[in-house]
Structure 1
Amino acid sequence: MTVKGKTYQKWDVHHHVVPDFYVNELKNLGIADVSKIKWPQWSPEYSVKMMEMFHIEKAFLSISSPGIFFKDGAYSQKLSRRCNEYIAQMAQDYPGKFGGFASTTLPDVSAALKELEYALDTLKLDGVGLMSNVDGKYLGDKAYREFYAELDRRGAIIYLHPNGRARQEDHRLLNPLYLWQNDTTRTVIDFIKSGYHRDYPHIRWIFSHGGGILPPLYKTLIRSLQGEHSHIEAELARWKSQLFLDTASKAFDEQIPQLLNFSDERHVVFGSDLGWANKMAVATLVKSYSALDSKSGLSEAQIEDIFIGNARRLFGPDMVAVEQTERPVVISSQSRPARAVGNVEYHYHCVPQKVIDTVQAIDPSFDFAGVSAWDERQTLEWMRQNGYDKVMVSLDLPQVWQLGGYDLVRILRVYNEEVAKVRQKDAQQLGAFGAVDVQQPLYALSEIDYCLNELKLDGICLSIDISATPFEKLLDERIMAKLSTLHVPVLIHPVDSTGIPLLNENYLDAIYFVAKAFYLGAYKKYFSQSQLILTHTGGVLPYLAQPLNILFYLTVKHPMSGGSRYLWDSMVMHDPKGYNILMNTIVDEEEQTWPDQPIIMKARKEKSSQ
């Protein structure tokens, strides 16, 4: 039985130093802030004060984003050495209170190996801190093999932290609340895809911020990798004994069970993000994990392990075996989980034969591998077998969007007219979303009218690729204004949903669409009365609902007043508006049983082939 109000001692594996010399160096490089977030006022004394406040016995220090690699190898080596010696000196000045993770000069492997040797053998630091990417190079890079071989030989610890990307530096709060988290997961996937998890099994890992979205995305990831690596699930199950997820920023009921269930509670370690995180965030974090007796059925000893015991074992010599016990995801009583609705399947792809013929006439080289023409009888049989009363069909041909211009307009017109015929045959069981090209706004506006007024289709499918768009751009304002007046279902679908999530940056764009719509204020202005249907979400929407709720309030144009409303609605009234929107948004179901040989494009969030 857990003692109510118990204060747990802690080891903090996610604790940042932000020394003045480091800030000044980066300011001299023109880095005046990090994604428009001001540099924090930090000192060693501040860390000690926070440690006393939150009962942290020991903190493992590290440099946060944007890391140490700038200008050239020589400059970066000098900055890396200074940061590492600073951390080592703090450990000496406060005996027993601090450990630390060394910065290295990756992607300069030769210099990184030299710094690794100095940091671990001379400075006696506890491991190596790596950024998720440096100059766009991820941890699966072929050039890193020698670096990992040395870490594997040592059985060393790697502390992994997200880093921003050059073309997204101006994305402000979208970075810490969404994009940076994804970058951690992306680099883990890149590492796995390279086969390094098999080649270097003795490296122990701390994935900061719970590994980003890795826990909820894991099943989707397994399925997307199995085509290339048939034994990947068994390999990753073995690798998990070397993986530890830290708790930083993962304080919500929809998140914590995902961390616990990724392997087990023995592989979750306390991380505060102090140095950058504020006191309220850390207090919320501590409160959430201290309450896991009542919320997730953990014992006092298991909670104590998360706060301190697991880290002690991690920094010890022995491997920690996985002992998994599944726990239900906890959803707050005020909201329903993100879900599909009733007996209607909203995400089901249809490619009429006439569309295939039209595409082939325009481009005879078009690859239709894995695509078969629509067959109504087999679709109705699929509905019967899976208990659906109605299916809403939509288009999914990733290559067709590359044609652009009049060719694409012609194909979409043929598609819309053909699915109108499908719908007319049996409107009670078969509905249809019209397809438009959002990159051609004037055409899209005209085609929306044609689809809804002339063809009598049921809604509009927006095939989007916003992963590489400028920060301030979502969709053409005229298209959003048009949709806001129609009150019809709007299906949000990536242009390309093939391949591996995050390695294919477009895959999760439905979630990015909503995040951006919240933050730019477009959701309140244009979509608040629309029925959005999100596809290819990888099962991560409930996990992200609370962080994205912050973007709903702290919009680009109204960050200050939005902050007050966020605190009032979320903390006082317990009525977080953005969260409730997301938890009641229609998504296609995560787990489905699909025909072995579907005669349509598979209507699922995890698609291994087209």
Structure 2
Amino acid sequence: MKQKINEFKKWDTHHHISPPFFEEFIIKNGNKDVYGLPHAKWSPKLMLNWMNNINLEKAILSFSLPGIYYGDIAETKAMARKCNEYMAELIKQYPDRLGGFATLPLPDPNASIEELKYALDTLKLEGLGLLSNAGYKYFGDESYEPFWEEVNKRKLVVYVHPVQPEEGVNYTLLNYTYYLKMDTTKTIVDFMRSGYHKKFPDIKFFLSHGGGVMPKVMMSALKGLEKENPNIMNEFEAWRSQLFADTALVGYPDEMLPEVLNFFGANHVIFGTDLCWAPDKYKYFVQQISQLDLSRSAFENLYSNNVKAAFTDKKIPFKPLNVQVTARKRSIGTVNHHVHVNPKKVTEFVTDKLGRTLDMNVKDSEIMEKHNNAMVSMDIPELWQLPAKERREALKLYNQTIAMMKEEAKSKAGVFAAIDLDDPKYSLEEIEYCLKQLDMDGVCLYVKIVGKNYGEMFDEKLLEKLEKINVPVLIHLKDSNAKPVLDFNYHDSLSYMYSLLYLDKLEHMKKVNYIPTHTDGLLDFLARASNSMYYIDPETHKPRIGKIIWELLIKKREVFKDYVKELKHVY
């Protein structure tokens, strides 16, 4: 059922305020802008106008980025109190229209318990508003146990908003389209890893922006923890009814929003606008939601009924939903197409140089014979720990050995030269040698992107070389021992692609047959959201109006989304 923008009354749980004292405070602490974006404009009058424009019956207010903790707990406690009292006074003026999520002085758990009691018992706020990390401490931190015990005892709602992760590089717009989304998911996975989901099962979490990337990567993240907790998948299924996701900035009806609805279920998706940070976009996203083919009751649940139910003490069981994903789907590759072969000769070399045994199963020529049509690359995380000279020796040994293995096995598998992104001068020589002398079938570019500044990510000569070689280029992380989500470098192939896009390298990307690996389907899931990076100048971080007019308004196309759709292989 298609519906009009104002047809249903709405409750908004993703609704920020930014009074002058808050803006002054974060500017004083070094934030002249917020990850490259100007401070949001807000006033009570603006807020009520926004609410009335989309039939917003009630907004649950919260303070947002970049938070109130800058290393001084006394200062943080004072600001938390000021924020909560301001919110409470505002709610008194509009009691039927507003509610509030309390700001707390984390990472201090004791101070947070004290403020929690005041905010809820005296100020009568509805729940807690927490950032995904505070001082780079995530929800599973062992020092948080007494805090979560108090939250669980009260069966509270905890609204979770992402913040910049510990990696700390200011990736400007890439933070908003990717890294912050990842951080929301990371803190929930961290909560589960600690076992708090079993100790404190009565806390309801409202997760911003559709749960971040949870619909695509949660199963992969939990699978990565099965060695630590073999029952973690079953535990998640039992606990997932405590998780809710809002629709703020995820209202793309072709893929992202259906994936969120299908993952969280019919009664666990709630409405969010991201006001005051999205004053130019909130109507657009409501219109996008309206395109979904849902029943009237499903729209009513999404807009208000689900969140009203969540604010009760009742458990709300997960109820599956099956919304059609209409975006063109690519079959995600399996091990039958992209395999790792780690020759014994190479693993012995790395073992000898490191002076310790590698914790891995050596794969040899049997793989070559079994997977005739596979793309073959190496996966030896310990190799990248070697000094530069020894690392070069190991890579050359691998490339020579794997080329010989293919010839001896008379295999039709494609063997990919192991190339180090961080050693461009040697890599240029090795690409030439592997393709011309060893007659290899492609290049596997091993990357480590997260934590680097934009200026040190790419070597222009190496990028130019990749444009000219006319063979497939696998993008592979260096540390496959990393845990999905908990270690951002696990998804370094995504960081590679997104960083190229933001640095205005889309034309380069079109000239190279890139094959990103270990993506967990995120490249498709985030394609429309990340498309916005194409229209932003990476130096000024301002919109490029000419591109917006030409591509979006005249051509009516989303160029990065279209590029992603045309990729032949994504793993």
Q: TM-score, normalised by structure 1?
A: 0.89
**Once the two structures are superposed, what CA deviation does each residue of 1:143-170 show, in whole Å capped at 9, x if it has no partner?**
0000000010000110000011465353
Q: 2:360 aligns with which of 350, 359, 370?
A: 370
**Once the two structures are superposed, what CA deviation does each residue of 1:25-83 show, in whole Å capped at 9, x if it has no partner?**
22222221101111122101111000000110000000001111234111111111111
Shift in Å, 1:303: 0.9
Task: Say whether the 8 Å CA contact 1:160–1:207 is kept in structure 2.
Answer: yes
2:154 is aligned to 154
Shift in Å, 1:485: 1.9
**Once the two structures are superposed, what CA deviation does each residue of 1:241-281 show, in whole Å capped at 9, x if it has no partner?**
111100011011211111111131210000100111123x2
1:355 is aligned to 346
Which amino acid in the other structure matches residue 546 of structure 1? Answer: R
Distance 1:564 1:344, change over 3 A: farther
Distance 1:205 1:403, change over 3 A: same
The 5-angstrom pairing of residues 301-320 of structure 1 reads: 301-320=297-316
Distance 1:289 1:434, change over 3 A: same
Identity %: 35
Q: 2:512 aligns with which of 505, 530, 553?
A: 530
* Residues in 2 aligned to 1:283 and 1:153: alpha-carbon distance in whole angstroms: 38
How large is the RMSD of aligned CA atoms in angstroms? 2.1
Shift in Å, 1:560: 5.0
Distance 1:104 1:480, change over 3 A: same
1:458 is aligned to 441
Shift in Å, 1:587: 4.1
The 5-angstrom pairing of residues 539-554 of structure 1 reads: 539-554=521-536
Q: 2:369 aligns with which of 374, 377, 380?
A: 380
Task: Say whether the 8 Å CA contact 2:173–2:541 is kept in structure 1.
Answer: no
Task: Say whether the 8 Å CA contact 1:339–1:586 is kept in structure 2.
Answer: no
Which amino acid in the other structure matches residue 516 of structure 2? Answer: L
Q: 2:501 aligns with which of 518, 522, 538?
A: 518
1:608 is aligned to none
> Are 1:395 and 2:397 counterparts?
no
* Residues in 2 aligned to 1:75 and 1:3: alpha-carbon distance in whole angstroms: 47
* Residues in 1 aligned to 2:12 and 2:81: alpha-carbon distance in whole angstroms: 23
**Once the two structures are superposed, what CA deviation does each residue of 1:204-227 show, in whole Å capped at 9, x if it has no partner?**
110011111011112212322222
Which amino acid in the other structure matches residue 555 of structure 2? Answer: M
Q: Which moved more, 1:473-482 or 1:146-155?
A: 473-482
2:397 is aligned to 414
Distance 1:15 1:152, change over 3 A: same
Q: Which moved more, 1:344-353 or 1:56-65?
A: 344-353
1:96 is aligned to 96
1:191 is aligned to 191
Task: Say whether the 8 Å CA contact 1:474–1:517 is kept in structure 2.
Answer: no
**Once the two structures are superposed, what CA deviation does each residue of 1:317-376 show, in whole Å capped at 9, x if it has no partner?**
322111113333220xxxx434458x9955211112322333344344141x33223133
Distance 1:82 1:12, change over 3 A: same
Which amino acid in the other structure matches residue 124 of structure 1? Answer: K
1:84 is aligned to 84
Which amino acid in the other structure matches residue 351 of structure 1? Answer: N
SS of residue matched to 2:455: coil
> Are 1:268 and 2:262 counterparts?
no
Shift in Å, 1:586: 4.1
2:556 is aligned to 574
Distance 1:15 1:170, change over 3 A: same
**Once the two structures are superposed, what CA deviation does each residue of 1:532-556 show, in whole Å capped at 9, x if it has no partner?**
0011112222111111211123241
Q: Structure 1: any 5+ residue segments left out of the alignment?
A: 384-388, 590-610
Task: Say whether the 8 Å CA contact 2:6–2:55 is kept in structure 1.
Answer: no
> Are 1:139 and 2:139 counterparts?
yes
Task: Say whether the 8 Å CA contact 1:260–1:268 is kept in structure 2.
Answer: yes
Distance 1:256 1:450, change over 3 A: same
1:323 is aligned to 319
* Residues in 1 aligned to 2:178 and 2:349: alpha-carbon distance in whole angstroms: 40
Count of aligned pairs between the two proteins? 570
Shift in Å, 1:4: 6.5
Task: Say whether the 8 Å CA contact 2:5–2:287 is kept in structure 1.
Answer: no
Which amino acid in the other structure matches residue 269 of structure 2? Answer: V
1:55 is aligned to 55
Task: Say whether the 8 Å CA contact 1:344–1:390 is kept in structure 2.
Answer: no
Shift in Å, 1:181: 0.9
1:337 is aligned to 329
Q: TM-score, normalised by structure 2?
A: 0.95
Distance 1:260 1:345, change over 3 A: same
* Residues in 2 aligned to 1:472 and 1:92: alpha-carbon distance in whole angstroms: 49
Which amino acid in the other structure matches residue 538 of structure 1? Answer: D
* Residues in 2 aligned to 1:438 and 1:379: alpha-carbon distance in whole angstroms: 26
Shift in Å, 1:119: 0.2
Q: Structure 2: any 5+ residue segments left out of the alignment?
A: none
Task: Say whether the 8 Å CA contact 1:497–1:536 is kept in structure 2.
Answer: no
SS of residue matched to 1:15: strand
Distance 1:568 1:55, change over 3 A: farther
**Once the two structures are superposed, what CA deviation does each residue of 1:392-415 show, in whole Å capped at 9, x if it has no partner?**
211110001100322111111111
Distance 1:197 1:587, change over 3 A: farther
Shift in Å, 1:588: 4.6
Which amino acid in the other structure matches residue 187 of structure 1? Answer: T
Which amino acid in the other structure matches residue 337 of structure 1? Answer: K
**Once the two structures are superposed, what CA deviation does each residue of 1:283-331 show, in whole Å capped at 9, x if it has no partner?**
12111222222xxxx2111111101111111112322111113333220
